[in-house]
Structure 1
């Protein structure tokens, strides 16, 4: 009872802190140049990290097994992974745009985990015999960490596509405006128009330069985070194959979870392959990563929602079986 109450307190504290962090981000969009807002948001994510860490440790002690045996625990671990991804670059003082992705992702996963849909799974249960293995920590933790990293990298790629798409529309609109204006005025008006065009061109060049820098940073961090997630995913699949051989007598059974994990691995392998070709970098590779975002959710959540196959331990119907 004490452990359950402590878990309840920690989850609500972490959820409240992340909500405040998102509010700070929204305020920073309205008020530029306030460094204290960014510092407060970073401290909030650190607080969230320690709260979820305390929750996982408490859950581990109370259930006497690594807290990754059902969907509720994996969602909390996923939220913990998002906070890790946010904190690690800050240790080396790397400026990045991960905070815009990690905070909403953390509150989304925590919000769903603590919702009424998973009320039955929020209570610790006896570990299923098939999960009583030393591979539980290795396999599931690597898979969830890979999901977190790949989701963050994919969302950065989505942001890159949105900015690139808007940039192309604005350039097309400006070029049409200039072409129409150059044939519509007298000579004196054309001189004034040219001066205005020069000033606007300078402003647009300055603006496009910063937009270009933003696109390059999004591309850089998307590639780095996806590469890290791909390594975790590969380790998770290999360790899962070894575990499957011990539990079921075969390294690969083409279970729905295994099949979608292979599809996810293939999609991001294609993404990393496109990065080796300079002509396919940027928007082209970002399209592949954006497709991977949907595939990850099918692999992680969609298969569990159906509750079919050998990996149905984390489904909604777990407690009723």
Structure 2
């Protein structure tokens, strides 16, 4: 009873804190950044991290096994992993940390919000592990897979953000070019307008140069951080798949059974292997497109089996409730 109450308290505290953090993030960005809020944002995410850590430890003690046996527990662990990757930019890159955190932080509240929703209410109570899960490989396989999913999702989110920023810039340039062409064709005093336009450009050169330089640096950081985090996630995913194969051989006598979960995990691994292999040739927008495809495939891999409730990985699914 005490552990259950403590678990509920930590859940509500972490959810409330991360909600406030995201709200402050958005307000801070809309006001072009308030220096005094940067430290409070980082501290808020640290509080969220420790609350989710306490939640996992409490459930571990109460259930007497690593809390990774069903969808609810894996979502909480996924939220915990997101909070880790959200804090990395704060310690390693100061200049754009607020923007990077704003992109990743909503993942924490979305995963934890779904985990604590009414859809998974029957999974909130700890249960005895099924025989297939009573193995020392549970910690290695599932933790590496979820950490891999979290890292790959965070890196892919940065790639999606890069695509959004880049495409908006391209569309804006095309729109401005069309407007200039229309003005030059419609008015007889085109040369006068050209001179005025040139004067305005010269007057605002310093501001535009600073703005374009900042945007260019931010896009480069998105691309760089996306590659770094995806590389780390790919390593976790590889370890998770290999340890899962060893576990499958011990449990069912075969390293690979082409289970739906195994198949989609292999597809996910292949997509990000392509991303890393072609990274030097496809930098920026092109590599971000590949990572964005991987973002969708990860969610299919993670939730697909739980929605269908088929295969060897159907434990803890929606249909099993």
Q: TM over 0.5: same fold?
A: yes
Task: Quote the offset at 1:190 in angstroms.
Answer: 4.2
Q: Bigger shift: 136-145 or 174-183?
A: 174-183
SS in 2 for 1:317: coil
- Please list the CA deviations of residues 192-238 of structure 1 after superposition, one character each: whole Å capped at 9, or x if unmatched: 33312433555444332222111111101111110110000000000
Q: 1:4 to 1:232 in 2, by over 3 A?
A: same
Alignment match, 1:276? 280
SS in 2 for 1:314: coil
Aligned counterpart in structure 1 of residue 113 of structure 2, from 100, 106, 111: 111
CA distance in 2, matches of 1:164, 1:192: 29
Aligned counterpart in structure 2 of residue 238 of structure 1, from 239, 242, 246: 242
Alignment match, 2:252? 248
CA distance in 1, matches of 2:83, 2:154: 11
Task: Quote the offset at 1:186 in angstroms.
Answer: 6.0
Task: Quote the offset at 1:315 in angstroms.
Answer: 0.7
CA distance in 1, matches of 2:291, 2:32: 31
Q: 1:198 to 1:251 in 2, by over 3 A?
A: same
Alignment match, 1:265? 269
- Equivalent residues of 2:308, 2:319 under 8 A apart: no
CA distance in 1, matches of 2:309, 2:55: 26
Alignment match, 2:314? 312
What is the aligned length? 317
- Please list the CA deviations of residues 35-55 of structure 1 after superposition, one character each: whole Å capped at 9, or x if unmatched: 222211111110011001111
Structure 2 portions without partners, runs of 5+: none
Alignment match, 1:156? 158
Matching of residues 208-219 of structure 1 within 5 Å = 208-219=212-223
* Normalised TM-score (structure 2): 0.94
Task: Quote the offset at 1:125 in angstroms.
Answer: 0.4
Task: Quote the offset at 1:70 in angstroms.
Answer: 0.2
Task: Quote the offset at 1:307 in angstroms.
Answer: 1.0
- Please list the CA deviations of residues 116-169 of structure 1 after superposition, one character each: whole Å capped at 9, or x if unmatched: 111110000011110000000000000000111111111111111111111111
Alignment match, 1:79? 79
- Equivalent residues of 1:82, 1:103 under 8 A apart: yes
1:2 aligns with 2:6: no
* Normalised TM-score (structure 1): 0.94
Task: Quote the offset at 1:247 in angstroms.
Answer: 0.4
Q: Bigger shift: 151-160 or 177-186?
A: 177-186
- Equivalent residues of 1:98, 1:152 under 8 A apart: no
CA root-mean-square deviation: 1.7
CA distance in 2, matches of 1:33, 1:180: 37
Alignment match, 2:23? 23
- Please list the CA deviations of residues 7-35 of structure 1 after superposition, one character each: whole Å capped at 9, or x if unmatched: 01100000000110011112102323412
CA distance in 1, matches of 2:313, 2:29: 43
Q: 1:252 to 1:186 in 2, by over 3 A?
A: closer
Q: 1:316 to 1:153 in 2, by over 3 A?
A: same
